[in-house]
Chain A
Amino acid sequence: MARTMASTRLTLPPLLIRFLVIAGLVGLWEIASGSGWINAFTAPAPSSVWKGFEKIVAEGGLGEAMAITFATALMSAAIGAVFGIASGYILHIWKAAGEAYTSWLAALASAPLVLLYPLFLVIFGRNMWTIVAMGALGCTPPIALKAKEGLDGVKPVLLNVGRTFNLTPKQQFWMIMFPASLPSIFTGIRIGLLFAIINVVGVEFLVNVGGLGQLIANLGDRFDYPQMYAGIFFVILVSVAFFWITEKLEKWLLSNT
């Protein structure tokens, strides 16, 4: 089994490569920061960020902040799912509206809706409802798009089966259309949840209310950069974990319904 260097490098499992790259970057940063190439105050070394992390876990209320952010994001996503599925359904049923608005909805899904926060601040005040509303706003367009896509894609023959069994319109929806488009709706909810987290953390940061976003804003105001970076990396990590969990959950749910 003679292998050349090149092929050995290529056959490294992707997972290992992923971590090697991250480890390399962290190492480089540690060296750069420690040797003074970059400003250790505004960009503290990974080792001090880690200490910062230990500190916000112990006394900075990271756990509590995370719980608040999660609860807010989930509530936003739930509201977004209701509005999103309903609008997806309307766009599916009402063909003219579907044609007129679908591309706008796609544009809306990729627009930085987070910038609308002053409007919601005026409506709801500086409290968690502004954040919930902003989260819901962010995840409604992708959920609506995916719901419409799923409903449009239901095979006509499946609907015909329902018709020949004399299903009522309500049964036709809940027993055929909904389950048939569930895979697509799940994908929409998954994307929606991520959009909700982004918006929730963003608005928490901007209006200084709530969970992780506020925590990071406060640490920044106090110029406590090691802890602030620890918070930021934690949010990224949590988002990745969230994405991964919902992906698994989706697979599990689809094979169990």
Chain B
Amino acid sequence: MADVKQAPVLRLKDVAKTFVTPHGNVRAVEPVTLDIRQGEFISIIGPSGCGKSTLMNIVGGLIEDYEGSVEVDGIQVRGCHKEVGMVFQEESAFPWRTALNNVTFPMEAAGITKEERVQRAMELLHLVGLDGFENRFPAELSGGMRQRIAIARTLAFRPRILLMDEPFAALDEQTRLLLGDKVLQIQQELNQTTMLITHNIAEAVQLSDRVLIMSFRPGRIKRVVEIDLPHPRSSKMMGGERFGQLVAAIWEDLREEASKGLQELERVRG
């Protein structure tokens, strides 16, 4: 990855979305404008229902009917793009395929030879710590292992831009930390531009160059926090003073939004 492009890899211009439903319109995302550099790791954090997944689905091309524009390498795109890979919030490993055949899936679709597919898939399974589980079906594995299959499968697509929607939500804290380190290591090696959605502040700080805090619905970017921790990062930094300061600063902002969400919830229930 010698040539570092000056133009942002990913550019969102006034991206907004209103869902039209039989029960009325839902404004999910207020205009978001954002430039993401090649190799940058950004996290989006915000209260539940603030439009994070919607924003990601727009960038990933799954929602094509939105306002504003999305540019990849300076070219406006609409629909799914071969440079963009996604890991979903819901469980998405194919239950009828083994771990190995899940990971070979995108390569199969792209017509890569079997030998190469299997070799690359084995490497990726090793990367996410699933050696020895190649021939197991998702139903035979834990939720965290299934999510790792999904991550490896998306990496097998070799996207330059990686979008991940709470990929670690189903994992226990320890696995989450270790897998976070792993993803960061891969991201650095491949110089991948990454957008991660998370609810976990520490995770956002640990992994990101920038953390975007989204407001309560309709979602807009309330604040951008630059994470000035040194690279290479690892979960070992979590005890540090600067780390603590950043987490506290983000929580300060997020608390306000989260309590708005809570209030609305109480209003709906009460």
Q: Which residues of A are interface residues toward B (Cβ below 8 A)? A: 155, 157-158, 160-167, 171, 175-176, 179-180, 182, 254-255, 257
Contact = CB atoms under 8 A, between A and B. Distances in A.
B91 A157 contact: yes
Interface string B115-153: 000000000000000000000010000000000000001
B168 interface: no
A175 B86 contact: no
B80 A164 contact: yes
Interface stretch (B2-10, B102-110, B188-196, B250-258): B102-110
A151 to B, nearest CB: 15
Interface in B146-188: 153-154, 157
B109 A171 contact: yes
B92 A175 contact: no
Contacts of B94: 158, 161, 176, 179-180
Per DSSP, chain B at the interface is: loop
Interface of B: 60-62, 80, 82, 84-86, 88, 90-92, 94, 96-97, 105-106, 108-110, 137, 153-154, 157
A117 to B, nearest CB: 39
5 contacts: A158-B94, A163-B80, A166-B80, A171-B109, A179-B94
Given A157-B90, A158-B92, A167 B62 contact: no
A158 B153 CA distance: 13
Contacts of B137: 255
B106 A165 contact: yes
Contacts of A163: 61-62, 80
Nearest to B60: A164
Contacts of A179: 94, 96-97
